[in-house]
């Protein structure tokens, strides 16, 4: 019993390459989430905004708007 260690000799954790493996996993997760969030933002925010602008400018008449502002006295030179 004098030559036996106080702790049991079980297999320790494998630490070689752990940092690189963790970085690879984190990078893959980050890139995946970035792609998902980018597509979701485009669908949820940008597409409705683009449609609203297209609808507005289909109906917009610049001359009518100018005459309305001119009649309201918004311009000093007209």
Whether 55 maps to a domain, the answer reads yes
Structural domain includes residue 20: no
Confidence of residue 6 (pLDDT cuts 50, 70, 90): low
Tens of pLDDT along 25-47?
Answer: 999 999 999 999 999 999 999 99
In three-state secondary structure terms, 74 is coil
Q: State the pLDDT at residue 8.
A: 65
| Cα–Cα distance, 49 to 25 (Å, whole number) | 35
**What does the pLDDT average to over 6-13?**
73
For residue 14, being part of any structural domain is answered with no
- 49 assigned to some structural domain: yes
Domain span at residue 58?
45-73
Residue 39 has what pLDDT?
A: 98
Tell me if 17 is assigned to some domain: no
pLDDT at 5 over 80: no
**Residue 35 placed within a domain:** no
Q: Does residue 68 sit within a domain?
A: yes
Asked whether residue 10 is domain-assigned, the answer is no
Give the span between the Cα atoms of 29 and 66, in whole angstroms: 52
Q: pLDDT at position 15, please? A: 87
């Amino acid at each position: 019993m004098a030559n036996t260690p106080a702790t049991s000799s079980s297999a320790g954790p494998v630490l070689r390459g752990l940092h690189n493996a963790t970085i690879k996993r984190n990078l893959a997760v980050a890139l995946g989430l970035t792609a998902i969030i980018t597509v979701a933002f485009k669908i949820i925010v940008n597409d409705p905004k683009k449609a609203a602008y297209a609808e507005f400018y289909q109906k917009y008449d610049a001359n009518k708007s100018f005459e309305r502002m001119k009649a309201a006295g918004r311009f000093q030179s007209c």
